[in-house]
Chain A
Amino acid sequence: MLNFIARRIAAGALLLLVISFLSYLLLSVPDTDVGRTLLGQGADQAAVDAKNAALGLDRPVLTQYADWLTHAVRGDLGTSWFTSEDVTTAVTARLPVTASLMVGVTLVATLVSFLLGVWAGVRRGAADRFVQVLGVIGYALPGFLVTLVIVLVFAVNLNWFPAIGYTAFSVSPSGWLSTITLPVLALSVASVAGVSQQVRGAVIDVLRQDYIRTLRARGLPTSRIVLRHVLRNASAPALSVLGMQFVGLLGGAVIVEQIFGLPGIGSMTVTYTTRGDIPVIMALVMLTVIGVVLINLLVDVMIGWLNPKARVA
Chain B
Amino acid sequence: MSRTTRNAALAGCLAAVLTLTGCAGGGPQGSAGAQLNLATLTSPQSLDPSQAVGSALPFFQAVYDTLVKREADGEFSPMLATEWTYDDTRTALTLTLRDDVKFADGSAFDGAAVKANLERFKKGGGAAAKWLKDLTSVEVTDATHVTLKLAQPDPAMLFYLSDAAGLMANPAAFAKGDALKTTPDGTGPYRLAKAKTTIGTKWVYERNADYWGEELPYKELAISFFDNETAIVNGLRTGQVNAALLQNADQQISIESDPRVKTTEQEFDFQGLLLFDRGGAITPALKDARVRQALNHAVDRKTMLATIRQNRGAATGQVFGPDTAGYDKALDTYYAHDPAKAKSLLKSAGYAKGFTLKLPRMSAIVNDALASSLTTDLKAVGITLKWEELDGSTALRKIFTDRAYPGMVMNMGQAADDWIVVNELVTPGTFNMFGSTDATVGKLLPQIQSGGEKQKEAARQLNRHLVEEGWFVPFYRMTYLHVSDGTVKITPQSGMAVPSIYNYAPAG
Residues of A whose CB lies within 8 Å of any CB of B are 30-34, 36-45, 47-48, 50-51, 54, 79-86, 90, 93-94, 115, 148, 151, 155-156, 159-165, 172, 174-175, 177-178, 181, 223, 227, 258-261, 263, 267-268, 270-271, 274, 276
A124 to B228, alpha carbons, bound, how many Å? 45
The answer to whether A270 touches B27 (Cβ under 8 A) is no
A54 to B237, alpha carbons, bound, how many Å? 43
The answer to whether B26 touches A162 (Cβ under 8 A) is yes
The answer to whether A82 touches B234 (Cβ under 8 A) is no
B219-255 interface bits toward A, Cβ cutoff 8 Å, 1 = contact, 0 = none = 0000010111011101101101100000000000000
Please name all residues of chain B whose beta carbon is closer than 8 Å to the beta carbon of A261 when the two chains form the complex.
224, 226, 231-232, 234-235
The answer to whether B231 touches A42 (Cβ under 8 A) is no
Please name all residues of chain A whose beta carbon is closer than 8 Å to the beta carbon of B227 when the two chains form the complex.
258, 267, 270-271
The answer to whether A263 touches B240 (Cβ under 8 A) is no
Extra 12 A-B pairs, beta carbons < 8 Å, given A47-B130, A159-B238, A162-B240: A36-B397, A37-B396, A42-B130, A50-B125, A83-B43, A84-B48, A156-B234, A156-B238, A163-B234, A164-B238, A178-B21, A263-B200
Output the nearest chain B residue to A151 by Cβ-Cβ distance: B234
Given contacts A36-B400, A161-B21, contact A156 B237 (CB under 8 A): yes
The answer to whether A30 touches B393 (Cβ under 8 A) is yes
A15 to B43, alpha carbons, bound, how many Å? 34
Q: List 24 A-B contacts (CB under 8 A).
A: A31-B394, A33-B396, A36-B396, A41-B396, A42-B127, A42-B430, A43-B129, A44-B130, A50-B125, A79-B178, A81-B45, A84-B199, A85-B200, A90-B200, A155-B234, A156-B237, A159-B26, A160-B26, A164-B235, A164-B238, A165-B235, A175-B24, A258-B227, A259-B228
B261 vs chain A, min Cβ distance (A): 12
A129 vs chain B, min Cβ distance (A): 19
Across the A-B interface, give the 5 residue pairs with the lowest CB-CB distance, nearest first.
A162-B26, A261-B231, A32-B393, A178-B24, A174-B24
Output the nearest chain B residue to A54 by Cβ-Cβ distance: B125
A53 vs chain B, min Cβ distance (A): 10
Please name all residues of chain B whose beta carbon is closer than 8 Å to the beta carbon of A38 when the two chains form the complex.
45, 127
The answer to whether A47 touches B129 (Cβ under 8 A) is yes
Partner of B397, one of A31, A54, A172: A31
The answer to whether A164 touches B234 (Cβ under 8 A) is yes
B487 vs chain A, min Cβ distance (A): 16
Interface residues on B, range: 35 or more
**Is B209's CB within 8 Å of the partner chain A?**
no
The answer to whether A84 touches B46 (Cβ under 8 A) is yes
A84 to B202, alpha carbons, bound, how many Å? 14
Partner of A39, one of B1, B127, B235, B237: B127
The answer to whether B393 touches A276 (Cβ under 8 A) is yes
The answer to whether A174 touches B202 (Cβ under 8 A) is no
Please name all residues of chain B whose beta carbon is closer than 8 Å to the beta carbon of A42 when the two chains form the complex.
127, 130, 424, 429-430
B273-290 interface bits toward A, Cβ cutoff 8 Å, 1 = contact, 0 = none = 000000000000000000
A267 to B125, alpha carbons, bound, how many Å? 30
**Is B20's CB within 8 Å of the partner chain A?**
yes
Output the nearest chain A residue to B397 by Cβ-Cβ distance: A33
The answer to whether A40 touches B397 (Cβ under 8 A) is no
A85 to B393, alpha carbons, bound, how many Å? 21
Please name all residues of chain B whose beta carbon is closer than 8 Å to the beta carbon of A223 when the two chains form the complex.
1-2
Given contacts A31-B397, A90-B200, contact A83 B45 (CB under 8 A): yes
The answer to whether B238 touches A34 (Cβ under 8 A) is no
Residues of B whose CB lies within 8 Å of any CB of A are 1-2, 10, 20-27, 43-48, 53, 125-127, 129-130, 178, 181-182, 198-202, 224, 226-228, 230-232, 234-235, 237-238, 240-241, 391-394, 396-401, 424, 429-431
Given contacts A45-B401, A90-B199, A159-B25, contact A177 B20 (CB under 8 A): yes
The answer to whether B401 touches A36 (Cβ under 8 A) is yes
Please name all residues of chain A whose beta carbon is closer than 8 Å to the beta carbon of B127 when the two chains form the complex.
38-40, 42-43, 47
A263 to B196, alpha carbons, bound, how many Å? 14
Partner of B125, one of A41, A51, A85, A151: A51
Partner of A155, one of B125, B238, B424: B238
Output the nearest chain A residue to B391 by Cβ-Cβ distance: A30
The answer to whether B25 touches A80 (Cβ under 8 A) is no
The answer to whether A274 touches B392 (Cβ under 8 A) is yes
The answer to whether B230 touches A259 (Cβ under 8 A) is yes
A148 to B21, alpha carbons, bound, how many Å? 20
Please name all residues of chain B whose beta carbon is closer than 8 Å to the beta carbon of A93 when the two chains form the complex.
198, 201
Output the nearest chain A residue to B230 by Cβ-Cβ distance: A259
Please name all residues of chain B whose beta carbon is closer than 8 Å to the beta carbon of A81 when the two chains form the complex.
45
The answer to whether A82 touches B45 (Cβ under 8 A) is yes
A42 to B181, alpha carbons, bound, how many Å? 22
A80 to B43, alpha carbons, bound, how many Å? 13
Please name all residues of chain B whose beta carbon is closer than 8 Å to the beta carbon of A86 when the two chains form the complex.
182
Please name all residues of chain B whose beta carbon is closer than 8 Å to the beta carbon of A155 when the two chains form the complex.
26, 234, 238
The answer to whether B237 touches A258 (Cβ under 8 A) is no
Partner of B231, one of A160, A259, A268: A259
Output the nearest chain B residue to A171 by Cβ-Cβ distance: B196
Please name all residues of chain B whose beta carbon is closer than 8 Å to the beta carbon of A181 when the two chains form the complex.
21
A45 to B433, alpha carbons, bound, how many Å? 11
A97 vs chain B, min Cβ distance (A): 9
Please name all residues of chain A whose beta carbon is closer than 8 Å to the beta carbon of B200 when the two chains form the complex.
80, 83, 85, 90, 263, 268
The answer to whether B238 touches A41 (Cβ under 8 A) is no
Output the nearest chain B residue to A34 by Cβ-Cβ distance: B393
The answer to whether A33 touches B401 (Cβ under 8 A) is yes
A36 to B127, alpha carbons, bound, how many Å? 9
A161 to B25, alpha carbons, bound, how many Å? 4
Output the nearest chain B residue to A44 by Cβ-Cβ distance: B130
The answer to whether A178 touches B25 (Cβ under 8 A) is yes
Output the nearest chain A residue to B23 by Cβ-Cβ distance: A174
Output the nearest chain B residue to A268 by Cβ-Cβ distance: B200
Please name all residues of chain B whose beta carbon is closer than 8 Å to the beta carbon of A172 when the two chains form the complex.
24
B404 vs chain A, min Cβ distance (A): 11
Partner of B45, one of A84, A160, A260: A84
A82 to B181, alpha carbons, bound, how many Å? 11
Please name all residues of chain B whose beta carbon is closer than 8 Å to the beta carbon of A270 when the two chains form the complex.
227
Output the nearest chain B residue to A168 by Cβ-Cβ distance: B198
Please name all residues of chain B whose beta carbon is closer than 8 Å to the beta carbon of A43 when the two chains form the complex.
127, 129-130, 430
A227 to B401, alpha carbons, bound, how many Å? 68
Output the nearest chain A residue to B182 by Cβ-Cβ distance: A84
The answer to whether B394 touches A32 (Cβ under 8 A) is yes
Please name all residues of chain A whose beta carbon is closer than 8 Å to the beta carbon of B401 when the two chains form the complex.
33, 36, 45, 48
A212 to B503, alpha carbons, bound, how many Å? 74
B361 vs chain A, min Cβ distance (A): 16
A160 to B182, alpha carbons, bound, how many Å? 36
Please name all residues of chain A whose beta carbon is closer than 8 Å to the beta carbon of B431 when the two chains form the complex.
41
A116 vs chain B, min Cβ distance (A): 11
